[in-house]
Structure 1
């Protein structure tokens, strides 16, 4: 028995267009204000980045708190091919993954991962706070084998949670790595409740 998804109603389409128009108007006003500010202020001796934050709200909030973030897909990806992504994988005796295998798969499928990090190396080389901090700021996004995600809070520390850079779980037992990475890069991460980090 096949099911069909009903087409959006005229009122839903009208609301979506109105929201898009309002967002576009707000972004244009923000850019205009920023440009006028840059022209009137004296230039800084030291360059500094200015950030614009986008706050999203949902009509329905997920009922349970959980460590893993909910993925909210966006039509345009937040992370591009230029983003620095780090993949943490299990290299324990029970794991069948090797660095060589992962590198070949990443290259063959053109997956935008720039760093592969063994769990054993995370445990030994990133014990000091400064090393964890450097790792945190070295990459735009972290991905991890879903089988080890619950072990990571102990080794990464609270700063990863505070900065919303908790590794996104990916299932490395399945073949569709690129699809999973693209989905993670094209989504905003919604953290519900308080995780025990």
Structure 2
């Protein structure tokens, strides 16, 4: 299977579509084969297993793995990014989709937004519950109540202002796997970057005023929810590897191909410094399959300056002075009472008299001869 490779003189701008389609076809075939094998040899269902561990046969995720030559972590991004997918792995057209919306207090404000006539009727029908943070804390304290909440809904959306509190409130029932973790959404109005006269607002440190936001509207909340349901989340980690979910095993290879293209281009364009010259490899894989390569770079470094022509010396002291590999002698090699130079704790060389070799007593020599 031919791989897409690029060197420093011809940097790639996109993946090879034929290569992506072949890899997607092979990966889906492998996942479906493994599913059939597990079904044939499966034991009785464990009634004590958690509901979220029993994934449906068509819900096996497909992951895109992007490897870079340098770290791409952005410390300013404390919340996951979103990439719009041509074919969402979540079926938003399903009328039976159940959504739970966790909001900041007071929850009545957001319930009225969802019930407003301008809010899309189809979307409001899928939002089965709107719950504030304080009510969530008070009602779902036990492990069993949280498990019941997890099984009642398909998707959990949370106001991004309170999403950092949810791991403590919901516990490991929600966060031991990534299938139903609450997805953060913005439920605030947009920032007003210009004042009434049309002048750009200055920062507070520059003598300006505090940030002013517009009043949130039902239309903006609906757009944010629809965008989130059709997107894939990007969690940047302090490493050179980033994984993004691009589909599931029930999709067609062509759908996986289009999602891979969209996610790769968005990742490289928005999150990777130096763009494609900093990309080392792109793979796709399932949870228990090998990673199939889509792109491999010819060079392991991003810039020629990163390559050292010579290895740095390893015998340099703290003050930048080279230490002697061995003590220097002024006398003859092996001579008695020779003067040697040794490094002192202050970094300077001191001259010491080399001690004479120990003399073996005649009685000891006689015993050694007898033993021989």
Could you state the TM-score of these two structures normalised by the residue count of structure 2?
Answer: 0.41
Residue among 98, 103, 109 paired with 1:89: 103
Query: Do 2:113 and 2:119's aligned partners in 1 also have CA atoms closer than 8 Å?
Result: no
Aligned with 1:135: secondary structure? Answer: helix
Correspondence list, 1:171-186, <5 A: 171-172=187-188, 173-174=216-217, 175-186=219-230
C-alpha deviation, 1:19, in angstroms: 0.8
For residues 156 and 191 of structure 1, the distance between their equivalents in structure 2, rounded to whole angstroms, comes to 20
| Structure-2 residue corresponding to 1:77 | 88
2:25 corresponds to 1:24 = yes
- Give the distance between the partners of 2:64 and 2:137, measured in 1 at CA: 35
Deviation at 1:89, TM superposition (A): 1.5
CA shift for structure 1 position 33: 5.5
Alignment of 1:114 with 2:158, yes or no, is: no
* Contact 1:91 1:120 (8 Å CA) reproduced: yes
**2:154 aligns to what?**
140
Residue matched to 2:113: 101
| Runs (4+) off by over 6 Å | none
* Structure whose CA Rg is larger: 2
Q: Structure 1 residues 45 and 159, CA, compared in 2 at 3 Å: closer, same or farther?
A: closer
Structure-1 separation of matches of 2:28 and 2:167: 36
| Greater Cα offset, 126-135 or 107-116 | 107-116
Secondary structure of 2:64's match?
coil
Q: CA deviation at 1:14?
A: 6.3
1:8 corresponds to which residue?
Answer: none
Distance in 1 separating the partners of 2:132 and 2:111? 8
Rate the CA distance shift 1:107–1:179 in 2: closer, same or farther, 3 A: closer
Partner of 1:166: 182
* Structure 1 unaligned regions, length at least 5: 1-10
How far the C-alpha of 1:184 sits from its partner, in A, is: 1.4
Secondary structure (helix, strand or coil) at the match of 1:176 reads: helix
CA 1:56–1:132: 2 relative to 1, 3 Å: same
* 2:54 is aligned with 1:63: no
3-state SS in 1 of match to 2:225:
helix
Structure with greater proportional helix content: 1
Q: What is the aligned partner in structure 2 of residue 5 from structure 1?
A: none
Match of 1:189 in 2: 233
CA drift of 1:126 comes to 0.9
Q: Deviations over 1:97-127 (max 9, x none)?
A: 1524323368634223222212231021012
Q: Say what the alpha-carbon RMSD is for the aligned residues.
A: 3.5
In the alignment, the residues of structure 1 paired with residue 65 and residue 139 of structure 2 have an alpha-carbon distance, to the nearest angstrom, of: 39
Q: Distance in 1 between matches of 2:113 and 2:139?
A: 22
Higher fraction of strand: 2
1:121-136 correspondence runs (5 A): 121-136=135-150
Q: TM-score, normalised by structure 1?
A: 0.69
Q: Give the deviation of 1:43 after TM superposition.
A: 7.6
Alignment coverage as a number of residue pairs = 181
